[in-house]
Chains A and B, each alone.
Chain A
C-alpha cells in the first residue's frame, strides 16, 4: 500500500510542476538560476507522509489525492467584491488574485515613502538589495512546498523600507482565492533596513468555498535595529488547503513582533522559522480557532544563534467539532548564545469530546547561561468560571461562549490595528457561538 502511495505522490509533484516551464524567464539571471535549483529540489524530494517526524500528526494524503493546476486566467474582480476585506487603517494595499498581482485593486502603493510593489515592478530599483534574501532565507533544499513555491517564483509582494524610515501606515497584503482546483504560490519579501519600522498584514481570504491550494512563502529580513510588526490572518475557504513557510532573520538588536491567526482551510500548516542575532528580540504569538473536520498545524522554530537575544511565544488553540490542532514549538539555543532569555507557552482548549490536540514544545540547548522555560496545557473551560458567570445570570451557553472568546481574545488583543482586531474578535465570537 505504501508503495502505491509513493508512486502517486511522485506523479503528484510532477503534475504540479507541469505548468512551470511556461513561466516567462526573468531578466535577472540569478532568479532564473534560483528557480532551476528549486525545480531540481522538487525532483529530488517527495511529498511528506506521517512517517516524517515533521509531519507525523498532519496527514496531507487528501491534498495529494486532488489535482490542482496553476492559475490559467485571472478573474477580474471589482472593488465591490473585495471591499469587505479592507482594513480601515491600512490604506496601502497590494492585492493578489489567485496569486497574481492585481494592480487595479491595489492602492496607495507609492504614497508612504517606502517601496511597496510587486516583485516584477521592483526588480529595476531593488534587484541588488533583494538578491541576498529572496529564496535564501527559506531553506527549500529539504522542504518540498517551499521548493515548489520557489520554482514558480515570478511575482511577489515586495516591501523595502529604507534606512531609518518609520512607516506610520500599516501595509495590507491581500491574497484572494477566486477559483476552484487552482494552486497559487503567494510570495512575500519584506526588507527592513537598519533602524526602520513597518507594520504588515498578510491576509488570506477566499471568495468561493470549493477546494483550492495555497502554497505561500514569506521571507522577512530585519537589519540592525529594525522593527517589524507582522500580522498574519489565514481565513481561507472551508475546503482549502493552506501550506505556508515563513522565515525571519533578525540582525543585531532588531525586533520582530508577530501575531498569526488561523481560522480557515480544511488543512492548514504554518512553518515559522525565526533566527535571532545578538541582542535581537521577538514575540511570536498565534491562535488557531478550528471546528468541524479542520486541521491546523503550526510548527515554529526559534533559533537563538547569538548571545543576549530574547524570545517570547504564546500559542493558543481552540478546538471544536472533531477538529485536530497540532503545535510543534522548537527553541534552539546554540553554543555560545549566552544570556538567552526564552519563554514559550502553548495552551489548548478542547471544546468537544472528539476534538484532538497534539503538541510538542521542544527545547534544544547548548549554552549554560540561559533562561529557557516552556509550558503546555490542554484542558477545557473551568467549571468554576462557568459557575461564576452563571451565578450572575448568564445562560450556560453564553457563559461558555464568553470564556472561549476571552481565551482567544488574549492573542488577538496583541494586534496593534484596532479595526482588524475588531473584525477578528467578531469572527471568534461568531465561531464560538456556532460551535456551542
Chain B
C-alpha cells in the first residue's frame, strides 16, 4: 500500500519550465553601488535611497539566524544578482499588448488572465520577476479611491503614503532577511484602501521567479484606513532550477480603526527534486499591525512548495479590541524543510487571537511549527486560542512544535493544544470497506484534516489548494 502512496507523492513538478525573455540583470554581488544602481534604475527619491542604505548598514552588522530548525549550505550573498527586470517596454493598457510568450507562461500555470479578469472579476497585478508588467482593473478600483499598483509606481506616484508607512511595521533592522530586503527590494505590490471603503473585489498578485540565480526581493505594503476592508490573495509558482534560489520578501500590513485586512497565500514554489537538490529558499518576513481599535488582521497560508520555508506571518495587536488570526497548512515532502508559524503580540485591551496550524510531513521532510503568543501587562482581557496539529506520513519524516507562550497579566486567557497523528490503517480500511481506494481516501482524510484552514480561503483559492494538496501528497500515504 505504501508503494502506491509513494508514487502518488512523487509526482514531478508540473510548473517547471523557463520562459526565455531577455532580462536586464545586474552583476552579481552586493555593495552600496548595487543599491545606488537599483535606486537609480527605478528613479527613486532620495529618502528611499537613504532608507535602503540604512538597511544595508544594519544588515552588514547582523548574522544569519541560526535558530530555525532547518539546515542548508551557507548562502553566498555576493553570488546573487540583486536586480533582474524584463526589458523596459512602454506601459501597456490592455492584455493584447502583453508579450505573447508571457501570456503563454501564465496559461501553462493555469492562470488564464483573460478568464480571471472576466469571470472572477479579480484585478491581477502580475509580477514577472521583479517588475510589474501589467496591472488590470486599476480603473475600476480607482473609482472608489483604492490605490493598487506596483511598489515602484507607488514610490513615484504616492511617495507621501509610502514614506509614511514603509518600514513602520517591520523596521529595517528587524531581522537579517528583512534588512536585506529593505536594502535591495526591487518591486512588489502597494495597496491603499481609503477611509470607509470596502474593496469591491479580491485583490490578487501572481508571483513568479523567472531568471536563474536572481534572488527575488518583493516588498508588499497594504494600508487599510479607518473602516476600510480588503481581501488580498497571493499565489506563487516557480520554474525548476537546479541551483537554489533565495527569496526574501517583506510584507507589511497596517490596519487603522475598524479596518479589516485578510491576506491569503498559496505557495507552490519549486521544492527541489526527490533527492532534495535545488528548490527555493523562502525566507519571508510578514507582519501586520492592527493599529486601530476593533481592527482585524487575518493571515491564511497554504505552504506546499520551497525547499526551505522560514516564515512567521505575525500580528501586532496594538489597538483595543483588535483581532489577529492565523490559519496555516504546511505540507513538506521529500527533503523539504519548513519552520513556520506565527507571532501574536497582544498589547491593546481585550485583544483576541486565533491560531490554527496544520502540518503534514511526508518523505524525509521536517516540518516545524514555531509560534509566540505574548500577552503584555497592558493587554488586559486578552484571549488566545491556538491549535497546532501535525500529521506524519511515513517513518522518515519529522514533526516539531515550538510554541512559546508568555503571559504577564491575570485577566487573560490563553489556550494551546497540539496533537500528532498519522493516517491510520484502520481509517484506510474503513474507506476500503466502502469501496473507496487508498488514494481517494488519503485525499479525503487530508482535506478533512485541513478543513478548518481551507474554509478561510476565498472560493477559487480553496479549490486550488485542495487540488494542490492531493497532488503534493499523491503516493505518499498507504
Contact = CB atoms under 8 A, between A and B. Distances in A.
A350 B410 contact: yes
A336 B396 CA distance: 9
A373 B403 contact: no
B72 interface: no
A353 B377 contact: yes
Interface stretch (B329-337, B386-394, B432-440, B466-474): B386-394
Contacts of B414: 376-379
A361 B67 CA distance: 17
A370 interface: yes
Q: Give the interface SS of chain B, mostly helix, strand, loop or mixed.
A: strand
Contacts of B400: 362-365
B181 interface: no
Contacts of A376: 403, 405, 414-417
Given A353-B410, A363-B420, A379-B414, 9 more contacts: A350-B407, A353-B409, A356-B408, A357-B407, A363-B399, A363-B400, A366-B397, A376-B417, A380-B411
Given A365-B392, A376-B416, A348 B403 contact: no
A141 interface: no
Contacts of B416: 361, 374-377
Contact of A373 (B375, B412, B419): B419
A355 B411 CA distance: 11
Nearest to A347: B415
B420 A379 contact: no
A8 interface: no
A372 B391 CA distance: 11
22 contacts: A335-B396, A348-B407, A351-B410, A355-B408, A355-B410, A358-B404, A358-B407, A359-B404, A362-B401, A363-B401, A365-B390, A365-B398, A368-B397, A368-B422, A369-B422, A372-B419, A374-B416, A375-B418, A378-B405, A380-B410, A380-B411, A380-B413
Interface string B420-462: 1110000000000000000000000000000000000000000
A361 B369 CA distance: 12
B217 to A, nearest CB: 29
A367 interface: yes
A338 B395 contact: yes
Given A355-B410, A377-B414, A368 B393 contact: yes
A354 B407 CA distance: 10
A374 to B, nearest CB: 5
B366 to A, nearest CB: 9
Nearest to B405: A359
B77 interface: no
Interface string A321-360: 0000000000000011010000000001011111111111
Contacts of B412: 350, 378-379
A384 interface: no
A357 B413 CA distance: 12
A53 B370 CA distance: 14
Interface string A376-408: 111110000000000000000000000000000
A371 interface: yes
A367 B395 contact: yes
A364 B398 contact: yes
A351 B410 CA distance: 6
Interface string B179-217: 000000000000000000000000000000000000000
Interface string A77-113: 0000000000000000000000000000000000000
B411 A360 contact: no
B392 A375 contact: no
A361 B407 contact: no
A361 B396 CA distance: 23
Nearest to B383: A379
A369 B399 CA distance: 12
Given A336-B395, A369-B395, A362 B413 contact: no
Nearest to A56: B404
Contacts of B78: none
B411 A370 contact: no
Contacts of B23: none
A360 B409 contact: no
Contacts of B415: 375-377, 379
B410 A352 contact: yes
Contacts of B419: 372-374
Contacts of A365: 390, 392, 398-400, 420
Contacts of A352: 410
A365 B413 CA distance: 28
A357 B405 contact: yes
B67 A53 contact: yes
B402 interface: yes
Contacts of B399: 363, 365
A291 to B, nearest CB: 13
B205 to A, nearest CB: 35
Contacts of A372: 419-420
B406 interface: yes
| Those 10 A-B pairs whose CB atoms lie nearest each other, nearest first | A350-B410, A368-B392, A378-B414, A372-B420, A376-B416, A375-B417, A378-B407, A373-B419, A368-B422, A363-B401
Nearest to A53: B67
Given A53-B67, A365-B392, A374-B417, A353 B405 contact: no
Contacts of B405: 357-360, 376, 378
Interface in A292-345: 335-336, 338
Nearest to A371: B421
Given A367-B392, A371-B421, A373-B417, A360 B403 contact: yes
A360 B203 CA distance: 37
A142 to B, nearest CB: 17
Contacts of B393: 368
A362 B371 CA distance: 11
Contacts of A359: 404-406
A393 B407 CA distance: 33
A342 B447 CA distance: 25
B410 A370 contact: no
A290 to B, nearest CB: 14
B409 A361 contact: no
Contacts of B404: 358-360
Contact of A363 (B377, B413, B418): B418
B413 to A, nearest CB: 5
B428 to A, nearest CB: 13
Contacts of B407: 348, 350, 356-358, 378
A360 B409 CA distance: 17
Given A350-B409, A373-B420, A366 B398 contact: yes
A351 B417 CA distance: 23
Contacts of A380: 410-411, 413
Contacts of B402: 360, 362
Contacts of A362: 400-403
Q: Which of B392, B394, B405, B406 has the most CB of A within 10 A?
A: B405
Contacts of A351: 410
